[in-house]
Amino acid sequence: MDSMLSDPKILQMNNYIQHGKVTSYQHVKRVAAMSLAISRFFHLKTDEEVLVRAALLHDYYLYDWHGHGDHLHGYHHPFIAAENAARDFHVSEKEQECIRTHMWPLNIKRPPASKEAAIICIADKLCSLDETLRMRK
């Protein structure tokens, strides 16, 4: 996880606000940590490398979604992030699928298809809620 966090491409996410005053970089770090915590707390047999890599890249879309003009950002950004992750980090198909499905149930036709994807989906919702309600100030 540490080598990815220091990658200049990942560090670009510091330039974009995700929720409240939390940057995309801070958000994906929190989602990765929460994903690992969920997996370990419940003693789930997961591929932790897939889990962490996909969690760190699940919002790797690299633009300010607040001013991007895409009113369907919630639907589109998982696919943009998966494409960017494949291009820049050569992620596996399983990692791409984790990224593509993290917005379920908003993208109702794309439910998580693996334990790793389901965990990231849940961790993202928990972190997003915390960032939006508690960390705004």
The DSSP secondary-structure symbol of 13 reads: G
CB 125 within 8 A of CB 132: no
- The answer on pLDDT for 1 being more than 70 is no
Cis (ω within 30 of 0) for the bond into 105? Answer: yes
- The answer on pLDDT for 3 being more than 90 is no
pLDDT at 73: 75
Q: What is the mean pLDDT of residues 94-102?
A: 98
The DSSP secondary-structure symbol of 14 reads: G
Q: Which CATH number does the domain housing residue 55 bear?
A: 1.10.3210.10
Range of the domain at 110: 2-133
- The answer on pLDDT for 114 being more than 80 is yes
- The answer on pLDDT for 108 being more than 60 is yes
Q: Which residues contact 106 (CB under 8 A, 6 or more apart)?
A: 74, 75
End-to-end CA distance of the chain: 28
Q: Which residues contact 25 (CB under 8 A, 6 or more apart)?
A: 10, 11, 13, 14
pTM score: 0.93
Residues recorded for the chain: 137
- The answer on pLDDT for 137 being more than 60 is no
* Overall number of domains in the chain: 1
Categorize the per-residue pLDDT at 136 as very low, low, confident or very high, splitting at 50, 70 and 90.
low
